[in-house]
Structure 1
Amino acid sequence: MVNKLRGIIPPAVTTFNSDETINEELFREHLEWLLQSNIAGISIGGSTGEGHALTAEETRRLIQIGKEVIDGRVPIIAGIIRDSTKEVIEYAHAAKDAGADYLMITPIHYFRPDDEAHVAFYSAISDAVDLPIIIYNVVATAVITPECMARLAEIKNVVGIKQSGGDIHALNKMVLTLPKEQTVWSAVDALLYPTYALGAEGAIAALLTVLPELCVEQWEACERGDYERAKEIHYQMLPVWLEMDKTNMPARTKECLRQRGFNVGVPRGPLNVLSDADREAIRQALVSAQVIKDEVLN
């Protein structure tokens, strides 16, 4: 399957109330804010969206809301983080029924599956649900190697891979060796512009959610070959990522957005809200990135 999706694709957070129900009004506002930048798509239910904690019906509902708000302006990529083929197919059907345009699926998190298991897993999903599949290579116990990805690229609905886990070397090898119709998206948040220079065709990453306007500007700078400006933006954004890339990243992402003036609710348990010290460190990073003023934290 040929993929035409490239560019900046921020993963939406899931806006939970204090009782852990979904706040649909805040979710709509969050999506509208992301759409103000020249983004190429929105991911719903990925790891930034706490997809591991969502039921199939919640995933369906969030995508339904996304479909209403986005109204065809950009594609919706449905993140699915489950630990059995059966569950993934259940979620994938829910996502397709709700109007998702793509599926973004992690490998399972347990038992260290070998390449044969990865191929069987994604083949079964492709056979069951006819939507383009983006493989999300982020699970430390189930790494998709470039060699395994070459096999997965032969599966009918697989269109590419979101390369995460900080491994720019694997991303580089995938860009060099995968068939040209396969897309490699970057999720190496600390090194986005070098991955674009190496051939990544955009990004799907948490930093994009917090700083969408800067990430789009950086991508567009790379597209026109202005790597000096891309490097400037890299160093402008890096302090923010260094504060996000710690334990409890969904809560850190939400705190970044809260300090930027956007209420996106609390994380779902067992994730907890951040300490005052963490919140202050995030404030200083956002000030350094010039996206908030240097004011006392409230």
Structure 2
Amino acid sequence: MPTEISSPIQGSLVAIVTPMHADGALDLEALKKLIDWHVVSGTAAIVIVGTTGESPTVDVDEHALLIKTTVEHAAGRIKVIAGTGANSTKEAISLAAYAKSVGADASLSVVPYYNKPTQEGLYQHFRAIAEAVDLPVILYNVPGRTVADMATATTLRLAEVPGIVGIKDATGDVARGSDLIRRLRLLEKGSGKRFGIYSGNDDSALALMAMGSDGVISVTANVAPKLMADMCRLALAGDFAGARAVNDTLMPLHFDLFVEANPIPAKWVLARMGRCNAKTRLPMTPLSARFEPVLEAAMRHAALL
């Protein structure tokens, strides 16, 4: 029987970047320093090798090394969620099994991309992963990147599968997200199983927490971890006036960290802060010069400069 978790992780979970040297090699020392920064800043969990971590351009050995390094360096100080998604069910199971073997707390598994599975295919894919590996699975629906879109009805079916413990909703649709939260919470009343629900978009995170979600898997937390942690803490405590005040300082970052494809802007901001190199791997290119003043203005608004 797959492991269940008694309650979901709550707060600001960072979809952490993968630091690289100028030649494109992994910069594990910079990653360790980022992890330390998140620990002291109040981040609730590290999500390693997700989209923001450039999972499409790291090879299998690097993927495994990033998960292992993160778990070992976190050393129990902060939860680690390993990105283990793939558009091959067999590969996703293999990555999840590796994450389990090195001590990750959970996996984040994205809707299969490019091959456009049916809703039944999505159900069977995620159920197979949960049944094969004794590691809690958080689903990840991001149709803007995967094309395939997991329907609410499919999510509700999967929420009843042992071992599937949460979802990152990156549809960007607040009304749809609110309805998903409502329906999942109703399902919980019958099953007694607590299901974690996370916004996958920083700009809608506060709205979804007001509707009862558990937090955000965040890009903005890469560059403003304490502010994101504070905003989530206030919202989860019901202090929405306080949460709005913090979120107002972050809103330009929520938008402008996507002036070009993620994680190009986030890495540029981190480099501007002296935290890591701005290097990304092709087909990601350096930030266009015209966006540098835009990001600097967002940084100033959040008092990062």
TM interval, short-chain normalised:
over 0.9
Which of 167, 170, 177 is 2:176 aligned to?
170
Q: What letter matches 1:232 in structure 2?
A: A
Pairing partner for 1:249 from 259, 262, 267: 262
Are the equivalent residues in 1 in contact too, given 2:71–2:103 (CA < 8 A)? yes
Equivalents in 2 of 1:263, 1:256: separation in Å? 9
Q: Distance in 2 between matches of 1:204 and 1:158?
A: 17
Q: How many residues align?
A: 292
CA root-mean-square deviation = 1.5
Structure 2 residue 141 is the aligned partner of structure 1 residue 137: yes
TM-score norm. by structure 2 comes to: 0.91
| Offset of residue 107 of structure 1 | 1.0
Structure 1: distance between partners of 2:89 and 2:236? 38
Q: How far off its partner does 1:56 sit?
A: 2.5
Q: After TM superposition, give the deviation of residue 81 of structure 1 in Å.
A: 3.7
Give the drift of 1:82: 2.0
- For residue 3 of structure 1, report the CA deviation from its aligned partner: 4.6
What is the letter of the counterpart of residue 193 of structure 1? L
Kindly indicate whether the alpha-carbon contact (under 8 Å) linking 1:102 and 1:133 is maintained by their aligned counterparts in 2.
yes
In structure 2, distance between residues paired with 1:98 and 1:56: 15
Q: For residues 111 and 138 of structure 1, what CA distance do their matches in structure 2 show?
A: 14
SS of 2:15's equivalent in the other structure is: coil
For the Cα contact (< 8 Å) 1:27–1:264, is it kept in 2?
A: no
The alpha-carbon deviation at position 18 of structure 1 amounts to: 2.3
1:75-154 correspondence to structure 2 within 5 Å: 75-140=79-144, 141-154=147-160
The answer (yes or no) to whether the contact 1:8–1:216 under 8 Å persists in 2 is: yes
Q: Which residue of 2 aligns with 1:270?
A: 283
Query: Out of 245, 248, 251, which is 1:238 matched to?
Result: 251
Distance 2:81 2:112 in 1: 19
SS of alignment partner, residue 48 of structure 1: coil
Query: Can you list the C-alpha shifts for 1:5-59, whole angstroms capped at 9, x where unaligned?
Result: 2221112111112222111111111111111111211110011111122222212
How far residue 276 of structure 1 moved from its aligned partner, in angstroms, is 1.8
Distance 2:80 2:173 in 1: 26
Q: TM-score, normalised by structure 1?
A: 0.93
* AA partner of residue 151 (structure 2): T
Per-residue deviation at 1:256? Answer: 1.5
Partner of 2:191: none
Structure 1 stretches of 4+ moved >3 Å: none
User: Which region of structure 1 is more displaced relative to structure 2, 57-66 or 150-159?
Assistant: 57-66
1:241 & 1:30 partners in 2: Cα distance? 20
Distance 1:172 1:3, change over 3 A: farther
Specify the SS of the correspondent of 2:233.
Answer: helix
* Residues 202-224 of structure 1: per-residue CA shift (max 9 Å, x gap): 11121122211111111121133
Does the aligned pair in 1 maintain the 2:127–2:161 contact within 8 Å? Answer: yes
Alignment of 1:32 onto 2:32? no
For each residue in 1:265-291, what CA deviation from the matched residue of structure 2 results, as whole angstroms up to 9, or x when unmatched?
Answer: 411211011122112211111112222
Question: Partners of 1:125 and 1:182 in 2: how far apart?
Answer: 17
- Structure 2 residue 164 is the aligned partner of structure 1 residue 155: no
Q: Which residue of 2 aligns with 1:220?
A: 233
> Which residue among 272, 277, 286 is the counterpart of 1:259?
272
Question: Kindly tell me: are residues 238 and 65 of structure 1, through their superposed partners in 2, closer, same or farther at Cα, counting changes over 3 Å?
Answer: same
Which residue pairs with 1:64 in the alignment? 68
Hey, what does 2:49 align to over in structure 1? Answer: 45
CA shift at 1:170, angstroms? 2.1
Deviations 1:228-274 (A, max 9, x none): 12112222111112111233211111112122231244112110111
